[in-house]
Each structure stands twice: as C-alpha cells, then as structure tokens.
Structure 1
C-alpha cells in the first residue's frame, strides 16, 4: 500500500514538473501592443492638445501673409471751404499700404516654419507616448508571466508537500521535510501577493496613457517575446543625430530665426501707399460757369514710408541672429546629452542580451538537473532537500529569464525613441 501510494505521488510529481519546462524556441513575436498604440494616439489628451496647437499655428500663415487693412477716412466740414467751383462740404479718402516686395511672403515662411516646430513637438510627444505604452505593456506582461511561473511552482510544491507527508507518515523522513515545503509555499504566496500589488499601479498608468478605462482584460501574446535592434551601434548613433525628434525640433526652430532675419531686412526697406479721395462740392448760387458744383476726385495718391530710424531694424536682425545662435547651442548641448543617454541604454541593452543568453543556458541545465534529481530521488539515490533546492533554483532562473527579456525589450523601445523611430525592431 505504501509503495503504491509512493508510486502515485511520484508519477504525479513528474507530470506536474513537465509543465514547468519552458519552450526555449520563441515563435514569431506578436504585435498585439499595436492596438493599444493606436488607441493611445487617438485618445491621449496631451497629443490632442499639441496637435490643436499646431493647427492654431497654421492659422497664423494667412494672417501675416495678407496686406494690412486699407485705411478709409471721412471728413465733414462744419465751415465749408469755398473754392472757385463751389463750397467743399465733405471729403472721403481711402489708402492701402504695400510693404516692400517679398515682405509678406517672408512673413508667411516664418509663420509656416513656426507651425512646423509645433508639429515636431507633437511628433516627439507621440513617439514618447508609444515608448511609454510599449514599456508599460511589456512590464504588465512580465508580471503575468512571473505570476504564472510562481503559480506553477506552487503546484509542484503541493506535490512535494504530499510526498513529504507520505515520507513522514511512513517514517522515512522527519517533520522538517514537510515544514521546509510549507516555508517555500509561504514565500511563493507572499511573492504572488507582491506581484498582484505591483500590477495595480501599472494598470492605472496604462489606462492613463490610453486615456481610457479598460473594459476587458489586456491582450497578450502566447510567450514573452524578445525584441532586437535592426541597426548596428554606429548606425544607431547616426540615426539619432539625424532623426531624434527633440533635435529636429531645435533644427526647425533655428530655421525660424534664420527666416526672421530676412523678414527684418524686408521691414527695413520702404513701403508704399496708394490711395484716392473724393470731395463733395456744392453749387455756387447765381453763377453760371463750367464745372460749377462738380465733385472733385483725386486718383491716385501715392506715398512712401521711409524707414530712416535704422537702429530698430538692425536690432531686429541682431535679435534673430542671437536667438538662432542660442538655439544652435541648445541643440549641441542636447546632442551631448542624448549620446550619453544612448551609451547608457546601449550598455543596458548588451547587459540584458547577456543575461537572456545566460539564463536560457542556466534554465536548460536546471531543468535537466531537476529531472535527473527527481529520477534519482524516486529510486532513493538522492535526498529530498536536493530536489527541493533545485526546484527553487529553477524557479529563480525562470523568473530571471523573464525579467531579462523584459529589460531587453524596454531598452530596445527606449533606443528606438531616442532614434526617433518606433518599429525598428525584430521579434525573435
């Protein structure tokens, strides 16, 4: 009877342990996160605000590219002015100012360039949102995988516990074996509670990024995937310098001030006024003469605005040049910061790669050792403590592997953001 019970428990132990063996060959990674990227881009209030700001900036283009409003004036003479053909009663005049040739077009280019700066701010925020959604999604999936691994190990410990009780009841082992398993179970249950507590703030952050309450469980692929960069390190550097959204925004802003210099030059050139006037003249009583009471029309009237106070226009040009220089210095400083960030991210990426490879090997060896120890234990060639120790080690390796994959993916997302790219990855 004792041997029969021992055989049943041992076979059950082997069956449960087989469920712990992870598939080391990863299938083609899933892009289930894409649906959340789209949802976040559609709902995120910060993106909406920045895009609305860009649309508002576009409305500046027709404002600065249009001629100034014409000036119309009307005068009524309380004391009519007598002339040869009659008394002038009222006069109406209209004039239009025309800036120097190309001034309006130059102002339009400045306004359009300012709109591009705001559009680039929107693009940068969008890539940052994509990165944050991807990282949060990846962290949530890690918690799910870690929870699943821990629950599976609890099942194995349950089998160990029953086996230890059998040994204790038959006098083949002491009570300490049962207590060791119970201690392991308590630790795993505590870890499960920690994982559940860690999930709640991540879900809240995920919902905030999407600006939506999740009505259904988050959809995950079947296995924890591994992202990989498609570019070598030197190519990553070059791509960052050419495409980083923050650097591009500063380049666009420098272009604004470069165009502003041209506007200042144009404003320092003469402007012309063209107009016409109409004067109402009353008939002279008792006089017969040609043109008696004929209204006077004067057209055209031409004027010139002379920008003789040159200091103002020179200061406008100098201001624009200094602003451009300041932006160029900001861009240079940002380049240095981003290259430092990239070095750190690339170092962490390489470390994550090494850890993934290491824990894959260690997990495989631990699985083989675990299977051999169970076989030896079933034939009485090994101690219960050795099997329990290897089970714990296998659990730790599996969790470390999941954590390393998560760190690898997150560093890829971060590097892609620095490069100004979202999908420069390859799922293995």
Structure 2
C-alpha cells in the first residue's frame, strides 16, 4: 500500500510539473504575442472613446461690423458680437458614455477569446513536439534493438544457423528506421518554428518538452453548463448590451436640443443730445430649442436595433450549438484515446512476451529472424500508436479546457 501511495504521488508531481512547464510557455505567449497586443491596443482605443464622447458641441463665437451703421433711438449700432452653446437633452452624454463603455467591454471579451485561442494553439503545438520527440526515442530504441539482433544473426551465421540474408534484412530495417528518425528530426525543427512564432521569439530557440507523458487514471468531469461562460458566448451578451445602450442613446438623441447664447451690440452716442439711454449698448440673452419634428430617422434606428438584437440572439444560439458539438466530440475522442492506449498497452505486453520467447529459443539454438522482424515491427507499431493516443488525449483535453475553463 505504501508503494502504491508513493507511485501515485510521483505521478501527480510529474503531471503538475508538466502542466507548469506548458503554462509558463502559454504565459510567455500571452505576454509577447503581437496578435494579443493588437487586441489590447484595440481595447485601450475603445476605452479612450468614453472620454471622447464626454464633450459638448463646439461653442460658437461670432463678430460682425456694420459697414453702414443702423441708426436707433439711442444711437448707431457699430458691431455685433455673439456667443452661443448648444446642449444635448438631459442624459444624452451619459447615454453616449454608457454606449462607448459597452463597446469597450466587448473588446475586452475579444482579448479573452484571443488568449484562449492562443493557449490552445500553444498546447497543441507543444503536444505535437512531445509526440515527435517520443517517436524519435522509440525509433532510436528500436534501432539499438535491431543492432542487438544483428549481432545475434552474425553469430548464428558463423555457426551455420542463419544466412547472410537475415543479416541484410536486419540492416535494411535499421536503415528504414534511421530514415524515419531523420524525417522526424526535420519535422521537429519545423514545428519548433511554429511554436516559437506563437511565443514571438527567435525560431532557433530550443523548446524543452517533457520526456514522458501518461494518461491519468481518471478524467476530470465537466458539464455542458460551463459552456455558457465561454467568452465566445459572452461576446454575444456584450453585443446585445451594446445594442441596448445604442437604443437608449437613440432615444435621448431624438429629444430636443437646448441652446444658450448672448448677443452684444455696442451703440455710439448720438451727438448733441442728452437723454438717459443715449449710447446705451445692447445686451441680448438668447435661448434656442432644436426640435426633431421629422423623426423618421430615429424610428428607423430603433427598428434596426430591435432586428440587430434578434440577429445577435440567433447567432449566440448557433454558436452555442457549435460549442456543444465540439465539446461532445472532444470528450468522445478523449475517451477513444484512452481506449486505444489501453489496447496498445496490452498488445505491447504480448509482443514483449513473444520477444522473450524468441530470445529463449536463441539460447536453445533455434531462432527465426523473420519472426524477429515481425515482432519488432509490431512493437514499433504499438509504441507509435500509444504515443499518438497520448497526444490525442491531451489535445482533446486542451480543447475541453478551451471550451469549459473559466
């Protein structure tokens, strides 16, 4: 029981170390990826829009000089100076701020979506790198195994228990595996470039992947309810709210605008006349009211907003269906990966037992190197399939994490 507990603890520590290493790459990607930086700049621009809309219309100042001075009872008018300020209806500026804030919140959700997609891409690339390295190691181990068989075959040729053809077949098989290994090395370099580009760093930087990954004994259980918290769906909620704020702004803008102003007219004194208002300047306060009598524009915008909300609701339902399908598919493929892994585990054990039988037969002087090659090929096939199953398991887990994780 103590040994079992120790083994379980070691597996947990190993799994935690793997997760930490991948997470550090994801954090580096989020900090350096230019696409994420572009989304953050877009969000900052949207936030700045809040300050932009918190302004009043331009103040109008005008001045005029009478070329032909009009005469009045109190004197000749020489010039006219005016200043006026239009004010939107009560609450309009607040409505503009709320609308701009809702658009900024939508951009913030876009950042969360972009980060999730980036994390998924980094994880998928990381698991491809792991599978490639693991396959290279399996090929190297099999090449060394074939070299051992080759030495046995050479010894058997010397005593007349095998032919030179057996040795040549073993060598040809080694050449094939060496070719596969070299191809994998080239593929690894290409995938390493993809991975480093996701992190926005030099393509030549070596990527460290864990030497071994195992499928855990039990899967984490997720429910479809977590899908409703996915940023891809929250984005539609924010869009819906922005349309609501747009409609509130439209209602405010359909109201009248108020204007306040002041006219000042300097008046010259009438010569040779003496009365109380002689030369008295004119000061005229003004109030302006702008009424949208023909408001078809605002009615049309209201209808458009209502239709837009219906469109967003339909889009959200369609996206939810897509995410639910992806979630079910990911869970199914993750379960398939476990089934395939367990089957390859059994097959590999039986192939190893067959190999031991062949080795014992060699000790008694009877060995068929054709059987040796067949068993070796089966072992390699099962090992490669196991690695593919592990890769599929973690890739599908990453997809589930993208869909469900809050």
Partner of 1:224: 213
Residue 293 (structure 2) aligns with: 308
Q: Structure 1-normalised TM-score?
A: 0.86
Gaps spanning 5+ residues in structure 2: where?
1-9
**Residue 249 of structure 2: which of 241, 263, 279 is its match?**
263
Query: Is the 8 Å Cα contact of residues 50 and 118 (structure 1) preserved in structure 2?
Result: yes
Shift of 1:62: 1.7
- Counterparts of 1:397 and 1:132 in 2: how far apart (Å)? 28
- CA deviation after TM superposition for structure 1 residue 214, in Å: 4.0
- TM superposition score normalised by structure 2: 0.90
Q: Given the superposition, is the C-alpha separation of residues 321 and 139 from structure 1 closer, same or farther in structure 2, using an over 3 Å criterion?
A: same
DSSP-derived class of the 2:289 partner:
strand
2:210 is paired with a residue whose SS is coil
Moved more, 200-209 or 246-255: 200-209
Could you say which residue in structure 2 is the equivalent of 1:288? Answer: 274
Q: Which residue of 2 aligns with 1:278?
A: 264
1:403 and 2:388 are equivalent in the alignment? yes
Number of positions where the alignment pairs a residue of Structure 1 with one of Structure 2 = 392
Q: Counterparts of 1:382 and 1:120 in 2: how far apart (Å)?
A: 66
Q: Which moved more, 1:383-392 or 1:407-416?
A: 383-392
Aligned to 1:162: 151
**Contact 2:134 2:211 (8 Å CA) reproduced:** no
Show CA shifts across 1:194-225 (max 9, x none). 21232233122112212221454211223224
The question of 1:360 aligning with 2:345 is answered yes
Structure 1: distance between partners of 2:166 and 2:200: 51
Matches within 5 A, 1:389-400: 389-400=374-385
Q: Secondary structure at the match of 2:139?
A: helix
Uncovered stretches (5+) of structure 1, i.e. residues with no partner = 1-24, 422-428
Tell me, in whole angstroms, the C-alpha distance in 2 between the residues paired with 1:202 and 1:133: 11
Q: Deviations over 1:85-121 (max 9, x none)?
A: 2222122222222222211111111111111112212
Task: Identify the match of residue 225 of structure 2 among 215, 238, 242.
Answer: 238
Task: Indicate the RMSD between aligned Cα atoms, in angstroms.
Answer: 2.1
Bigger RCO of structures 1 and 2 (CA < 8 A, at least 6 apart): 1
Deviates more, 1:375-384 or 1:85-94: 375-384
**Given that residues 377 and 384 in structure 1 are in contact (C-alpha distance below 8 angstroms), is that contact kept between their aligned partners in structure 2?**
no
Moved more, 194-203 or 247-256: 194-203
Return the match for 2:307 from 289, 301, 322: 322
| Aligned partner (choices 53, 59, 64) of residue 53 of structure 2 | 64
Matched-pair contact (CA < 8 Å) for 2:130–2:211: no
SS at match of 1:285: coil
Structure 2 Cα separation of the partners of residues 72 and 120 of structure 1: 44
Cα distance in structure 2, aligned partners of 1:222 and 1:152 = 14
